[in-house]
Amino acid sequence: MPPNDLVRLRHMLDAARETVAFAAGKTPQDLKSNRILSLALVKCIEIIGEAATKVTNETRTTYPQIPWADIMGTRHRLIHVYFDVDLERVCDTIALDLPPLIGSLEQMIQAEHK
């Protein structure tokens, strides 16, 4: 794996962990009533997607268990349709998609260190 890909995977992992930590115990209503929290969570998810866009095709092909296209598509949606972010969907992404992503990224990074 190219060294820059490993850096980007770490960025993805750090942002995913932060997102899950920031959102712990929060509901979509909490995000609607706390603009700072909702912006922080959206920004973290954007970072995950932006880092994913910088990972080489070679690495993406080597690790097909990561939903690369979905991650990058989410980033594009949040950035370009910022005026229509569905906070319930953001909560679902955090609760359902990020924990398995964190596990996969941890395994990938660990495998690269062996």
Which residues are known to be catalytic? 75, 80
φ and ψ of 31, to 5 deg: -70, -35
Amino acid making up residue 55 = V
Q: Are 102 and 20 in contact (CB under 8 A)?
A: yes
Q: What is the residue-wise DSSP string for 36-48?
A: HHHHHHHHHHHHH
Asked if 10 and 36 count as a contact pair (C-beta separation under 8 A), the reply is no
* Spatial separation of the C-alpha atoms in residues 15 and 18, rounded to whole Å: 5
